[in-house]
Amino acid sequence: MPAISLVVCLCKEGDHLRRLLQETRDCYDDLVVVHDGPDDTGVRPIVENAGGRFFEGKREYQQEPHWPFAWGAATHDWILRLDADEFPSGEMRQWLKEFRRAPEPPPDISGYTCIWPMWNGHKTVSKKWPAGRLFFFHRQRVRFFGMCEQTPVLDGRSEALDFILHHQPTRKSYGLSNILLRKQSRRVATLVALSLLKKPTDLACWRWQSEVWPEHWEQIRQRPLWTAFKRLIKGTVSTLRTQWKSEHHFFPIEAISGPVHQTLICLKFRLLRRVR
């Protein structure tokens, strides 16, 4: 029977963490929490009272550089990777409980994806979109380099589950205001651009050995302006098409938010490269 390690990387967010631990009780066998920088808001006692292990990492202003350490600190190979402001639906909780009692999945399955609906600060506003959020994986079947916006690369296949992972911060979880006005979102573009000036192996890595950037990032490195234009147009159209297929409804502001974010990363990279 497979055992599960719940791994959370956060900065502050104690109240959200309490909710997450309450909503995931009986869903995991091991808890690892890594704090981005010094913990000055009392997150450690929350973790230790829940029987988990707490670590403080270097202040990175992002969680991805902490993932390799956190996954290595976990006791079990199956990693339930959740953000502090997320929590599973009842159906997902039940599936996780049954997973722990079932035989080990086939070795060609590297992970599982779920639905990650939009949240307007008061209620969810979508049902089936966006999907494809990798929330659960076998750590020996993924590779990763610790850059913001990068997701684990699977050695095998993923299985799409029709379960919801709630993402409910105290604000809206989507929209142009998140991209253009929120300090953390603006910082992300700079963090990604700075990483792209290096090699993937210069970053904190998990089973990643190649110095070659994946195509998605290499396009920015080679042609940042053209990539910005292409992703702004094609990304918006593609997202609208996916929204309609999933929801029979358009969310135009959210359809353009992702492409705008990609555009800002491209422009920031070009600026920093010229400065250097």
- Going from the C-alpha of 258 to that of each of 80, 179, 214, 235, the distances in angstroms are 25, 8, 19, 8
Chain segment 70-118, per-residue pLDDT in tens: 999 999 999 999 999 999 999 999 999 999 999 999 999 999 999 999 9
CA-to-CA distance for 144 and 155, rounded, in angstroms? 11
Express as a percent the part of the chain with pLDDT over 90.
93
Across 249-253, average pLDDT: 94
177, pLDDT greater than 90: no
pLDDT score recorded for residue 184: 85
276, pLDDT greater than 80: no
CA-to-CA distance for 27 and 6, rounded, in angstroms? 9
183, pLDDT greater than 90: no
Domains of the chain listed by start with CATH number: 4-167 (3.90.550.10), 176-275 (no CATH)
Query: CA Rg, the chain, in Å?
Result: 19
Mean pLDDT across the chain = 96
49, pLDDT greater than 90: yes
Across 36-48, average pLDDT: 97
pLDDT score recorded for residue 182: 82
CA-to-CA distance for 201 and 207, rounded, in angstroms? 10
Express as a percent the part of the chain with pLDDT over 70.
100
Across 214-220, average pLDDT: 98
181, pLDDT greater than 80: no
Predicted confidence band at 160 (pLDDT cuts at 50, 70, 90)? very high
Q: What is the 3-state secondary structure (H, E, C) of 38-72?
A: CCCCCHHHHHHHCCCEEEEECCCCCCHHHHHHHHH
